[in-house]
Chain A
Amino acid sequence: MIRLGIVILVLAAGACREETEVPAATNATGAENAIVIAPHDDRIFAGGIAPPAEKVVNSAARDAKAADVGATLFTGMNCDGCHGGGAVGAVGPSLTDGRWRYGGADADIYRSIAEGRPKGMPAFGGVLQPAMIWRLVAYIKSLPAPKDVPTESWQ
């Protein structure tokens, strides 16, 4: 199964200051041009009921060069030091195998970068503005995931 985050594009009411565009922002007037709804589709729901989807603002969604800028950031912020050049994995996990430890929806990847993860992934939210983190998300999502072949054979 390929999991897809639900991405709803909306027209922006206008530009806004990035500082207000923290994840889980519900202020629709703060939206530049996109809302990503975190779908929680890789979770187990107590009672079988999913929690209400959170809306987060992708403030780089209108940037056609977002992935290119993200690629530069990926090297510049030393992401490649752990995840390897091209994010193919080194000491840190591969980000190109289509498999995700903390979820592969845009909002999940955003949170991994902004807030860090407990096995040593640093939180970059203090040094990167949200629009830059979204560009990193765009880069990571632009990488081609190989076909998932779970069997490795030597015969």
Chain B
Amino acid sequence: MRRSAAALALSIACAFVAPRAAAQTAAAPGDWTMPSKDFAATRYSELSQITPANAKNLHPVWTFSTGTLGGHEGQPLVVHNTMYVVTPYPNVLYAFDLTKEGYPLKWKYRPNVDPNSIGIACCDVVNRGAVYAGGKIVYNLLDGHTVAVDAASGKELWMTKIADLAAGETTPMAPLIVKDRVLVGASGGEFGILGWVKGLDLATGKVVWTATNIGPDSLVLAKAGTFKAFYDKGAQLGQTTWPADTWKHGGAPVWGWMSYDPELDLVYYGVGNPGPYNADQRMGDNKWTASVLARHPGDGSLVWAYQFTPHDSWDFDAAAEMILVDLKIGGKMRKTLVHFDKNGFEYTMDRATGEVLLAEPYVKVNWASKIDLATGRPVLTDSKQTGASRGNVKDICPTLEGGKSPASPVAYSPRTGLFYASTNSMCMDYEAVQTAHLKGTPFMGINSPYHAGTDPNMGAFIAWDATTGKRAWTIKEPFPVWSGSLATRGDVVFYGTLDGWFKAANAKSGEVLWKFKVGSGVVGDPITYTGADGKQYVAIYAGIGGDWLLLSGDYKSDDPADVRDPADFARNLARHTSQGGIVWIFAL
């Protein structure tokens, strides 16, 4: 009797121990566990030690060379006093021990990534970061694999081939983990892919579902009774809005950021451009390219979709983040989705239905005069439409780099109610030509040089009110601004510049409080976290690249056989930066 009572007591004790062990995998409030900080993709931190009064005392406390030259987009993670850094190709994962002096490595993980991905990736060999859940670090390798690595030991837990490099698919995007589902997508809008998202099982890596972004309802997972677009009627929209079978090579990549609303159980993501760039070869709306899609993460079923740029003729990917916050619109609190599209408009939408509540240009826009809220469609400027039949169309604003790039995600502060965005003020010429699809090669048909817009400043960091569609303040920058943003409860916002400055600004006024030259242009996204000593730290990658690798002056600075002049419109940028990745950590 006594023995069995003791055994019972032990089993009860074990039953209590198990949940405690599970709880240890939960993140602390001062951690940064997913790419955009939270499911709502706000990039807002509750940390408040750094304030407008003391930000001038920020200084570097640690740096680390990643040893790679690709564009350092994305951001580190910090979980349980460990910082995780994924490099551009070859996608090394570093784990730094933040409890020890000098933050030595706990381990590093070196996957065998196919070098062919270097040439299949459209726009440099970037990686947009990892995500943490349940003791695992999960991220995508450029060559079409998703890996899960044990966060404590660095041991590979699973590796799943998700994409086909030979078909032009690469995978630089950062996954999102919702419950037991790992959500991933592929790039390749320049290679005639048939774009998709997949839901993987977090425990095993097995692909549970695949949903294409274009094509028939059976592939798009648009089921009668579940799918309802606010503006579009009818079925098979992903197929009937394309000529014949052109959707099969119609692009629709997924390379930006995903967000999730737990109450609605909806995952939101933006879909990239249709292919080819010559719009004459794909007459019709080309749904659901340049769109936002809302899906149930469990089975991938499509709930609603909205197309920002029907028949996109300018490479206006809608891959940018969808920020999920509740805002007062027209005197009523609404569950909104806020999106800064490449096409130059900021959209404030009802995230339950896909209704557009407000759409206003946040940079100079001339391809459309406005968005008609009754139809959800842009009112087009005829002279700025493109296609091989229209020849070289001059002075389209913004450029195919976007009024804001999806690569530079926005932050939102609930304290100010403002969105903080890195923007570009440039225009382009767009000369489309006929092109043929050949598997494994680009499917583009475009010559599109950029130039500065009427504003001599080619970029700006702005604060934006998404309830009115108006700017609150502007910090002008000489070059396009390409970093992500960070907002904090201390009312300090952070961003970086292509000429290599990392800056802190007053969230309310836009006053620049502090800046530091970080050694290379910034295309990464700042994060903040609480260190082992209880202090607030801010981390950022330096390492120019992505679409801007040409501007650094060296196309590949480790290759003497490929030396080119910098682009004409930003020739001076090469005075201020070279390639090469550095992780920086700052503190008061």
A144 interface residue (CB < 8 Å to B): no
Cβ of B115 and Cβ of A120 under 8 Å apart?
A: yes
- Contact present for B562 and A89 (CB under 8 Å): yes
A77 within 8 A of B: yes
Once the chains are docked, how many angstroms separate the CA of A88 from the CA of B433?
18
Residues of A within 8 A of B115 (CB): 118-120
* A101 adjacent to B120 (CB under 8 Å): no
The segment out of B281-289, B308-316, B359-367, B438-446 that lies at the interface is B438-446
A64 within 8 A of B: no
Of B120, B435, B555, B559, which one neighbours A78 at CB under 8 angstroms? Answer: B435
Residues of B within 8 Å of A154, CB to CB, are 572, 575
Whether the pair B436, A76 counts as a contact (CB closer than 8 A) is yes
Let me know if B328 is at the binding interface, CB within 8 A: no
CB within 8 Å for A77 and B561 given contacts A92-B119, A121-B119: no
Cα–Cα distance between A61 and B310 once the two chains are bound (Å):
48
Highest count of chain A CB atoms <10 Å: which of B122, B443, B563:
B563
Closest chain B residue to A79 by CB distance? B441
Chain B stretch 385-431: residues in CB contact (< 8 A) with chain A = none
B204 within 8 A of A: no
B115 to chain A, nearest CB (A): 5
- How does the 8 Å CB contact mask read for A48-89 relative to B, with 1 for contact and 0 for none? 000000000000000000000000000111110110010011
Please tell me if the beta carbons of B440 and A122 are within 8 angstroms of each other in the complex: yes
Min CB distance A72 to B, Å, is 12
Q: Write out the residue numbers on chain A whose beta carbons fall within 8 Å of the beta carbon of B588.
A: none
In the complex, what's the smallest C-beta–C-beta distance from B18 to chain A, in angstroms? 48
Q: Which partner residue on chain A sits nearest B166 by CB separation?
A: A122
Contact check, B442 vs A101: say whether CB atoms are below 8 A apart: no
* B560 in contact (CB, < 8 A): yes
A75 & B116 in contact (Cβ 8 Å cutoff): no
Give the complex CA separation of A75 and B442 in angstroms.
Answer: 11
Flag whether B587 is at the interface (Cβ < 8 A).
no
Measured CA separation A11–B564 after assembly (Å)? 40
Chain A CB within 8 A of B256 CB: no
Would you call A93 and B447 a contact (CB within 8 A)?
A: no
Cβ contact within 8 Å between A82 and B564: no
Q: Report yes or no: B116 in contact with A82, Cβ–Cβ below 8 A.
A: no
What residue of chain B has the Cβ atom nearest to residue A148's Cβ? B563
A100 touches B561 (CB 8 A): yes
Is A1's beta carbon under 8 Å from chain B?
no
Contacting pair A127 B561 (CB below 8 A): no
Q: Which of B117, B190, B438 contacts A77 (CB 8 A)?
A: B438
A101 near B559 with CB under 8 A, answer yes
Which chain B residue lies CB-closest to A127? Answer: B438
Pair A81/B441 contact, Cβ less than 8 Å: yes
Q: Is A150 an interface residue (CB 8 A)?
A: yes
The interface on chain B, measured as residues whose beta carbon lies within 8 A of the other chain's beta carbons, has a size of 34
Contact A101 B562 (CB under 8 A): yes
Q: Does B27 contact A (CB under 8 A)?
A: no
The reply to whether B116 and A118 form a contact with Cβ atoms under 8 Å apart is: yes
Q: Which residues of B contact A97 (CB under 8 A)?
A: 561-564
Interface residues of A in 137-151 (CB under 8 A from B): 150
* B119 in complex: contacting residue of A78, A79, A120, A152, CB < 8 Å: A120
Which A residues touch B440, using CB under 8 A?
A: 122
Q: Which residues of chain B have C-beta atoms less than 8 A from A78's C-beta?
A: 435-436, 438, 441-444
CA–CA, A91 to B123, complex, Å?
7
Residue of B nearest to A102 (CB): B561
Q: Contact: B433 with A75, CB < 8 Å?
A: yes
- The closest CB in chain A to the CB of B117 belongs to A120
> Does B553 belong to the interface (CB within 8 Å)?
yes
The answer to whether A81 touches B563 (Cβ under 8 A) is no
Give the residue name and chain of the B residue nearest to A94 (CB).
Answer: B564
- Residues of A within 8 A of B (CB-CB), count: 27
Contact A152 B561 (CB under 8 A): no
Other-chain residue from B119, B190, B555 in contact with A89 (beta carbon distance below 8 A): B555
Interface pair B116/A120, CB less than 8 Å apart: yes
B552-587 residues with Cβ-Cβ distance < 8 A to A are 553, 555-556, 559-565, 572, 574-575
| B352 beta carbon closer than 8 Å to chain A | no
Bound Cα distance from A54 to B262, whole angstroms: 66
Residues of chain B lying within 8 A (CB to CB) of residue A91: 119, 121-124
Asked if A94 meets B562 with Cβ closer than 8 Å, knowing A118-B116, A119-B119, the reply is yes
Residues on B with C-beta less than 8 A from A79 are 441
B157 within 8 A of A: no
C-alpha spacing A79/B440, complex, angstroms: 11
CB distance from A26 to the nearest CB of B (A): 30
Least Cβ–Cβ distance between A137 and chain B, in angstroms: 17
B325 located at the interface, meaning its Cβ lies under 8 Å from any Cβ of chain A in the complex: no
Is B159 on the interface with A (CB-CB < 8 A)?
Answer: no
A154 to B555, CA, bound (A): 18
Say if the beta carbon of B118 comes within 8 Å of chain A.
yes
If A75-B433, A120-B115 touch, whether A101 touches B122 (CB-CB below 8 Å) is: no
Q: Contacts of B124 on A, CB cut-off 8 Å? A: 91
Output the nearest chain A residue to B442 by Cβ-Cβ distance.
A81
Chain A residue at smallest Cβ distance from B119: A120
CB-based nearest A residue for B553? A152
Q: How far is the CA of A36 from the CA of B21 in the complex (A)?
A: 70
B143, chain A: closest CB distance, angstroms:
10
Chain A residue with Cβ nearest B575: A154
Given known A119-B118, A120-B115, A120-B119, contact A101–B444 (CB-CB < 8 A): no
Bound-complex Cα distance A88 to B564 (A): 9
Minimum CB distance partner of B170 in chain A: A120
Chain A positions 86 through 123: 1 when the CB is less than 8 Å from some CB of chain B, otherwise 0: 00110111100101110000000000000000111110
A151 to B565, CA, bound (A): 11
What is the distance, in angstroms, from B433's C-beta to the closest C-beta of chain A? 7
Chain A residue with Cβ nearest B435: A78
- Chain B residues, Cβ within 8 Å of A101: 559, 561-562
Residue with the highest number of chain B CB atoms closer than 10 Å, among A89, A92, A101, A122: A122
Q: List 28 A-B contacts (CB under 8 A).
A: A75-B433, A75-B435, A76-B436, A77-B441, A78-B436, A78-B442, A78-B443, A81-B442, A82-B442, A89-B564, A91-B121, A91-B123, A92-B119, A94-B564, A97-B561, A97-B562, A97-B563, A99-B562, A118-B116, A119-B115, A119-B116, A120-B119, A120-B120, A121-B119, A122-B119, A122-B441, A152-B574, A154-B572
By Cβ-Cβ distance, the 10 closest A-B pairs, closest first, are A120-B119, A81-B442, A78-B441, A101-B561, A99-B561, A119-B118, A93-B562, A122-B440, A120-B116, A81-B444
12 new A-B contacts, CB < 8 A, other than A75-B433, A101-B561, are: A76-B436, A78-B435, A78-B441, A81-B444, A82-B442, A93-B555, A93-B559, A94-B562, A97-B563, A122-B440, A127-B438, A152-B553
